[in-house]
Structure 1
Amino acid sequence: MLKKKITTLLITVALLTSVMPAAFADTTEQPPQMPTQSQGEQPPAKPDGDQSDGEQPPQMPNGEQPQGDMNVSIPFTDVASNAWYYNVVSQAYGKGLISGISDIEFSPESSVTGAQLIMMLYRADDNTVSEQTSGNWYDEAVDWAKEKSIISDNNGWTFDANADLTREQMMVLLYNYLQYKGNDLSASDDLSSYTDSSEISAYAENAVKALVGKGIIEGDGKTLRPLSSLTRAETAVILINAVDSVNPSANQGGMQPPSGNMPGGFGGSDTVTQGTSATTITEGGTYSSTSYSSTGDDENALRVDGATVTLDSVTVDKSAGSSSNTEDGDFYGQNAALLATNGANVTIKNATVNSSAQNGNGIFSYGTGTTVNVSDSTITTTADNSGGIQTTGGGTTNATNLTVNTSGNSAAAIRSDRGGGTVVVDKGTYTSNGYNSPAVYSTADITVSNATLTANNSESLVIEGKNSIKLNNCDVLGNMSSTEGSSSDENVHSVMIYQSMSGDAEVGTSEFDMTGGSLTGNNGDMFYIT
């Protein structure tokens, strides 16, 4: 038996990863300077070759962030590999839907016209531009946009194909496009926190509120710049977010869930599949000292759907009910005890959450725009594939002073899966007892401070792909078995940092940072890295 202890650790691990297919990006583009041919410029043939590793900064200008990052090498000499928009341009080019103003120029700072954006949306809707013998290169796309009410009477703004778009005009067109695609745009954000909200034109106000509420537009945190023009680089970011939101599964790190069912109920649906719920809250408010329970298959005991809710001293009990598909439970929250989804904002305090159902995660935060704030609560799960707190699809979980205990296999105390998100934990104890059940499993950005993390029969910490775990003043213990679970006497470790190639995490750099506290491995190697 090998036992190691590290009192202060700061490590950053870069994974040199293998090439991945480039067909996962979802965007399109049209150059601002169109050629003289009547049909307009066509996108280049989809390139073959390696995935590029251009750096992505933590925060892009204006706050806009793309939701996927599957990229390929690009030929544009004016797009530096360390430019904030490199990955965005690479995604679109890899899809075969983006072209430059020439073979080697992208012109990222050039403005975007109405016709160019409509052509992007036209191609994003899987349309192909046909050969035209007369008229404008954009007429076909504009006719389509009018037919689908993407271009419409906008109460004060008349669409001009050749005019540069302002940011608010772009938002109107994106809003109409998302409505045409059937997206739920009911979440409306209060724009009063933005210092320039008074500059938003009346015709654009609903569109801006909806896109901010859906997380497609974020601004820089202080301003939205509604009357400013758009650059081609900015448009690529915003368009990717909008197009990805049409199919929520496309937000999963640029990957699609695997098709078909695999043995053991694996193989998630191509669309978000969350089953039913015994109780669903869709109205905002405070709910106190209430009990919620479920024994049904594929059923949440409690679901908060798109509402801003406070749950105080509630009890949630998922005591029975099987899961028909493990990955629908892992990815989307089907069969979880408590599921927050569709942009919900849920504050939970002094709660007791129990789950004894397979695939019955305790508290599940799903989807971009969804936030769970949970404090001073106890979460206990006993079956397989049942994590304590689970975050996927770009959701957010903030946890303070929790007591989490899991007993099943593949049931991490702090857990994430396809699509990742942001998890911030402060204080509390987080204990897993099953095989293949780390204290923390990360396909997200997870930060834990001042907590005790214990895995009694597993690795202590696992990072998959381009994700992170950051620990501050935490005491961590792992005790992976040499004979049980997926381990063997040659594959035993405490901290595992790897790329599974399953599509559940983007390929890239994993980051593990630990400052203060202790890291103890009771069996095997301290670090296992691929």
Structure 2
Amino acid sequence: MDFEKLEPDVTKILTKHFTSGRSGRRVEFVGIHYMASNGDTDTCYATWQSREASAHYAVASRGEVGQLVWDRDTGWALGDFDANCRSINIEHANLADGTVTEACLDSGAHLAAAICREYGLGRPQWGVNMQPHKHFMATSCPGQLYGSQRGEFEARAQHWYDVMTGAAAEPEAPETPLPEVLARFGDLDPDAWYIGAVEECVREGYLKGYGADRFGPDDALTRAQAVAMVANAARADLSDYLEPYEDVAPNPWYYEALCWAADEGVVTKADKFRPDDAATRAEVVAMLHNWRGNPAPKGEPAGYPDWSEVPAWAQESMAWAVEQGVVGGAGKLMPNKACTRAEAAAMVASLLN
């Protein structure tokens, strides 16, 4: 995002669930929120188009900023129309424990500082020109942005305000550190699009690395790794399962997870499983859909030029995954492409949030 010009990375303006103009009121503060999910501009757009709520900006875990309501208009964000008319509101993607990633925190704080400067609100300060959602109604929002991360968010917003107003020199861009839970992995880029999802999946135990220092974000996810990931995400009881496939010897590392997956219908019972084959994106989506009980999608998704490439057996699963925000954010489905470990992490994190 160009914070100097308040130009977001993505613009996807809602067609409803906001109020044109500000009823003669001026902007007086920035409203701070969390999404209660690890979402982004696309997921916020889908949610707010179908629900009577909205905010001006959405900040994703990777730090990308999207605008969904113009600054000149009133978002439906605080449960108080007068407060809505006097505020510009920012939603932040969060992890399962209510915290936000380093990239999300920094972008959100930088955006709050830019809004304070643009509208003459003064140096950012909690309770003055930055107000949490919970000040206006009974809610847990904005999670740890008003808990363990409150002080850091305010300090970062003040830092960026000082830089933007010339009160402090522009610092050299520091190297972004990896989140603590990922610090042992030498092959992860802390600025990569996948870092928030990988952080959540490693912390929660859904995915593990190779040995002591490698995660392999661009490696193909094997079918064995895929069933283990789903079993871990399901917190499955993996005891007392029988051997389900003739090409899987008893007690490989994924044995119990595969037995559980076959028993629960996550994968099809057959003579061969092909554990070391790369799992396609369609196969991973089908496993997730089966795990969630095969809920019926509303219909075939529109706007995906490669929909015709989705195998017939995976079309219902893929349509459901698009509706859930599990896949499709890049405008393509790529159903027959080998699913990378980073993509798998993003799918699981999106589904569980």
TM-score normalised by the chain length of structure 2: 0.46
Instruction: Determine which structure has greater relative contact order: mean sequence separation of CA pairs < 8 Å that are 6+ residues apart, divided by chain length.
Output: 2
**Larger radius of gyration between Structure 1 and Structure 2:** 1
Report the TM-score when normalising by structure 1: 0.32
- Structure having the higher helix fraction is 2
